[in-house]
Structure formats: structure tokens, C-alpha cells
Amino acid sequence: MHIRLATEADIPDILTLIHALATYERQPDAVQIGEAELHRDGFGPQPLFECLIADDAGEAAGFALYFPIYSTWRGPSIHLEDLFVQPSHRGRGIGKALLARVAALALGRGCARMQWDVLDWNTPAIDFYRGCGAVMLEPWRIMRVSGAALARLARQA
């Protein structure tokens, strides 16, 4: 198993992994993007994300998808959007290896932090992340405006 940066050739595998993660997160119908969007958004002149593949003899065993964010307290940071290992490949440290690789990338780019979101019922993931040195930002919640509400808000500009 080795970890490498994804290329355009990995787009079908990335989409498979995105769907598998959504199903694990109990939102199997949430994925509204496809290969064309991944191509446009990740592999064009100004990519919106980067992706690492855990490659097991040509098979995509897992992935980590991340992008730069910014903290007005600490400066450049990395947000890990997705981290997932296919169930058939678990128990071999692939998740940890992917997380560590993103951490190394973050450090190399001068980031003081990396962060990600987790579902509060996903105790195995939370325990795993804590074991990797992460802390939960207890009092923080995420708010979102989307769809018709976003359009309504934008009209008030």
C-alpha cells in the first residue's frame, strides 16, 4: 500500500469513495456531484481541492480530500473534507497513514493546524481522531444557508 496524489485517472474511484462515505454517514443520496464536477473542480487550472489515494496494488483502498482554509487567529490551515477507508481494507493503519500524510503536507505549507468535521454519534471516529492528537472544539457549531434560502438572502444585498 502506498499513498499518492490523485490524478484525473482516479476520478471514478474518488466518486466511488465519496458515495461510500456518504452511505456510512447515513446520507446515501446526498452526493449531487459527478465525475464532470470533480474534473472541473479538482483538476483544472485553479483546483478547489487536492486528494490523496491509498493505493493497494492498483486498487483505491481509501482517500483523503482536503483544501486550504484560513484562520484570522493563526493564519493558513488545512481543512480535511473527507477521510475514508473501504471496510475491506480496514485494520491496517491506512486511515492513520492518510491523516498523517495530510498533517505532513499541512506542516510543509506552514500551517499551524488542520481540522475537519465529525458526526457526534461517530464514536469510533472521534476516538481514533483523539488518539491521533486531535481535540474537539466543543462549543462550536456549523451554520449553513443553501438553496432557496441562499437566493433569498442574496437578493437582500
129 belongs to the catalytic site: yes
Mark the segment that binds its own copies (CB under 8 A) among 5-13, 54-62, 68-76.
68-76
Give burial (CB, 10 Å; 0-12/13-18/19+) of 61. Answer: buried
* 5 interacts with its own copies by CB under 8 A: no
Quick check: 61 and 1 in contact, CB under 8 A? yes
* 73 interacts with its own copies by CB under 8 A: yes
- Give, as ranges, the residues between 86 and 115 that touch its own copies (CB under 8 A): 96-97, 99-101, 103-104, 106-107, 111-115
- Give, as ranges, the residues between 119 and 148 that touch its own copies (CB under 8 A): 119-121, 126, 129, 132-147
Quick check: 78 and 68 in contact, CB under 8 A? yes
Give burial (CB, 10 Å; 0-12/13-18/19+) of 118. Answer: middle
- Give, as ranges, the residues between 20 and 59 that touch its own copies (CB under 8 A): 21-22, 27, 30-33, 37, 41, 48-49
Quick check: 98 and 63 in contact, CB under 8 A? yes
* 16 interacts with its own copies by CB under 8 A: no
